[in-house]
Structure 1
Amino acid sequence: MTRLPHWAAQSVAAARVVLVLTLLVGLAYPLLMTAAAHVPGLRHSAQGSLVTGADGRTAGSSLIGQSFTDAKGNPIKTYFQSRPSNAGTGYDATASGAGNQGAESVVDTPGKQSLLTQVCARSKAVGELEHVDGSRPYCTAGGVGAVLGITYDGGTSGRVTNAVSLNQACPAKPFLSSYQGVTVTCAKPGADYSATVTVPIRGNAPAHPVVPADAVTASGSGLDPDISPAYAELQAPRVARKRGTSEASIQKLIKKYTTGRALDVLGEPTVNVVELNLALDRTYQNPKQGA
């Protein structure tokens, strides 16, 4: 019997390995996992946790949030609003991501708001939408970060010689008239205040704001479909009014779509906004956007 050359024998062996691995990993394993995913009780998740609207058509996934806003980005008042999103233009599943701004992001730069100003602006907007107090510590009444740029005669300490409201460009009126006896001025566009000492001003806002934290901050993925029960309850009066029903009936829906802590100890209770809004459409009429 003629023996194959060494190089040919190695090639045949390699081809056999490729064939076996292709059948096992490329065909058998995917088929096995697909079959397992269709076991009763698991199929819903395997299909992407799809949810249907009042018309019976697929309306999205219960695992991916959505923006309930109009073409101009204004909240549709007949729906519960989701938390902010940094995924693309908002809840873009192909561009999942966070804003990557931390606690030290308090001063606005040209073309980019600081995290503090974003939080302040969102809190103000939610307060106006829900007719509640939207004030927060370290925020101005106008919805920007209440931050001063201070110049001292000793560099980083000593007597204050100048004070500028860094996030209020001229001709805006500074949120604070004076600081340690020095008149506070607005920030001149294009001026360099990097040499000043940044001093956030707490103000007299409540320590525990009416507007919950999840209403003004985005999730790490930008796709979180959940909000806190506190944020859902804050929106309940508006939704009930716009849907022409009682607040008590809306509260029942909120409770129905609230998930408790895992094992009763892990995490916090959450409300799935996507499922809750779909339930609204199935249960109540959806009138046109109004004031």
Structure 2
Amino acid sequence: MERLPSWIRRHLAALRALLVLTLVTGAIYPLLVTGVAQAVFDGNADGSLVQKGGKDVGSTLIGQSFTDGDGDPIKTYFQSRPSAAGDGYDPTSTAASNLGPEDVLDTLPVAGAKDDEGNPDTGRQSLLTQVCARSKVVGELEGVSGARPYCTGDGVGAVLKVFPTVGTPTRVVSVNQACPATPFIPVYQGVKVECGRPGQDYSAGRTVPVRGNARAVVPPDAVTASGSGLDPHISVAYAELQAPRVARERGLGVDTVRALIGRHTAGRALGFMGEPGVNVLELNLDLDRLKG
């Protein structure tokens, strides 16, 4: 029998290797790993799902929002940290905002203007203003001061544009406070501070963030999203801040609520990495069981 040409034999060998590797890596290995995971890790292998009343209500590994239909916090529940994953805690869009500490300048919306899709211009909030706005909302919800460094009283970044960039200032603008807002400081180095006018280009000015004298009461994780956008935990400090409000809304003693916080506080990973965290879903479910 005449031997096949070498190029055909090479293609047949490659095809056999493809079929064998597909079977091993695409079927045998996944089934083996799944079987071991089901046997060893039990429910964790199915996504660590949590049930209430016989229905899946979430996962201990993925955070979720505890808000009403309008997006407002439900006061009887502990609130999770912000999420930048899709519309919030979307596993298919897990991501951070990719905004850094130098992102301090807003783009103010121009009245009557529309974006490329024909929607009303909403401008763009810097990371600093997002943090300031969240801190203000959390402070109002919890009945504490939402003030923090580099934030104005109305919840935007306290940032000035100073003209010229070098030398004695002749013009100063609070660029994140749209007119007719009152600037957070009236005068800077002897120059009256103006409010920001939407649509104006202030890029030629020198950017000056103003720290102020505020002391932050609202914890950092209450105003910043996690890297994945799916973090199911909040800090013990943020849970403690919410405890009086939850206790009041549910008619419980604060000590009772704090005891539940302690029960759902996980320690540092491997005993030394990270900080202790409180699983929000498990804590809220335990609160519901406590009330029957």
TM-score by length of 2: 0.90
Alignment of structure 1 residues 110-121 onto 2, 5 Å: 110=108, 111-121=123-133
* 1:175 aligned partner: 184
2:266 pairs, out of 256, 259, 262, with: 259
Q: Return the offset for 1:48.
A: 0.7
* 1:188 aligned partner: 197
Q: Return the offset for 1:45.
A: 1.8
Structure 1, unaligned runs of 5 or more: 286-291
Go from structure 1 to structure 2 and tell me whether the alpha carbon gap of 1:128 and 1:13 turns closer, same or farther (over 3 Å shift): same
1:5 aligns to 2:1 (yes or no): no
1:245-270 CA-to-partner distances (Å, cap 9, x unmatched) read 11111111111111111232111111
Distance 2:192 2:34 in 1: 69
Q: Which secondary structure does the structure 1 equivalent of 2:171 belong to?
A: strand
* 2:106 aligned partner: 108
Task: Give RMSD over aligned pairs.
Answer: 1.5
1:151 aligns to 2:163 (yes or no): yes
1:226 aligns to 2:236 (yes or no): no
1:35 aligns to 2:42 (yes or no): no
Q: Which secondary structure does the structure 2 equivalent of 1:160 belong to?
A: coil
1:22 aligns to 2:34 (yes or no): no
Go from structure 1 to structure 2 and tell me whether the alpha carbon gap of 1:13 and 1:132 turns closer, same or farther (over 3 Å shift): same
* 2:68 aligned partner: 70
Structure 2, unaligned runs of 5 or more: 109-122
Q: Which secondary structure does the structure 2 equivalent of 1:59 belong to?
A: strand
Distance 1:115 1:11 in 2: 55
Q: Which secondary structure does the structure 1 equivalent of 2:93 belong to?
A: coil
Of all paired residues, the percent bearing the same amino acid is 61
* 1:281 aligned partner: 288
Q: Return the offset for 1:176.
A: 0.6
The count of aligned residue pairs is 277
* 1:51 aligned partner: 50
Which amino acid letter does the alignment assign opposite residue 236 of structure 2? P
Q: Return the offset for 1:18.
A: 3.3
Which amino acid letter does the alignment assign opposite residue 191 of structure 1? Q
* 1:88 aligned partner: 86
